[in-house]
Structure 1
């Protein structure tokens, strides 16, 4: 009996491990990205960047750091299309002294609006980090097989 409880607890803990993810724009310096950019994050799913009206998604190196640049009045919506993202953090770069940080608003469970209201001259999102619970099919299958084994044993 003690073995069954420990085994079930172990299988239950393995089914939904949490994963930490990071996304940056270092490899796209100088590129103008499509207005609806979807990035596939291995092990998580997709993260979508949708440019606002009149916004050009450009990766530049203002002040020596590659960033998804936002000029005055530009905004981008960031949507996490995989499982629920938690502990979302945006690393902003390219700010000159005296400039205001871009505004970051959470507009939905997995959606963020990043906007710039001042003349930030290319400041923007250098990177993002987030955590997500990622189901592992092999662990879920193992749990189902164990449960099936327990049911079969009880019927005998």
Structure 2
């Protein structure tokens, strides 16, 4: 038991440095519109995520769209050809996942990471249909280098202590 304790403590230290997961939805923003309002949402523990309409698009947060199973939620509504730029203003996001609602046959969202603007994604709706909505974004945050270094240092000290 005594030899396993340092190993468990080292594993715990390593787990403390893993990335944080975040999810953003549009609850509380119904009625907001782009481009008149650039929507900037503060995510506790991360920072701001900003939405800016592109290509002369006018986007509104509403509850207009539902999936075939009846699921619907406040979403940023797109018509054909509408685009929005999503900028993550906190740490580098990893595993960014955009979830959509109300996408019908013949419609599809495209998501491209900008080569010119750091941490910015461009989302657009293409195809023929009645429109769809972006209802949720989830991502992970890269841990700060100092947090990772602290976890590594703690793990190294535990291994050294174990060898003595």
Q: Rate the CA distance shift 1:10–1:63 in 2: closer, same or farther, 3 A.
A: closer
SS in 1 for 2:28: helix
Q: Rate the CA distance shift 1:85–1:14 in 2: closer, same or farther, 3 A.
A: same
Counterpart of 2:120? 111
State the alpha-carbon separation in 1 of the partners of residues 60 and 122 from structure 2. Answer: 17
Residue 124 of structure 1 deviates from its aligned partner by 2.2
The answer to whether the 8 Å contact 1:71/1:118 transfers is no
- Equivalences, count: 140
Residue 11 of structure 1 deviates from its aligned partner by 10
Q: RMSD between aligned alpha carbons?
A: 3.4
The answer to whether the 8 Å contact 1:35/1:56 transfers is no
Q: Give TM-score scaled by structure 1 length.
A: 0.70
Q: Rate the CA distance shift 1:31–1:92 in 2: closer, same or farther, 3 A.
A: same
Counterpart of 2:53? 51
Counterpart of 1:92? 100
Q: Structure 1: which 5+ residue stretches go unaligned? A: 147-156
Residue 126 of structure 1 deviates from its aligned partner by 0.9
State the alpha-carbon separation in 2 of the partners of residues 99 and 61 from structure 1. Answer: 21
Quick one: which of 77, 80, 83 aligns to 1:72?
Answer: 80
Q: Give TM-score scaled by structure 2 length.
A: 0.67
Give 1 or 2: higher helix fraction. Answer: 1
Displacement over 6 Å in runs of 4+? 9-12
Q: Rate the CA distance shift 1:136–1:57 in 2: closer, same or farther, 3 A.
A: farther
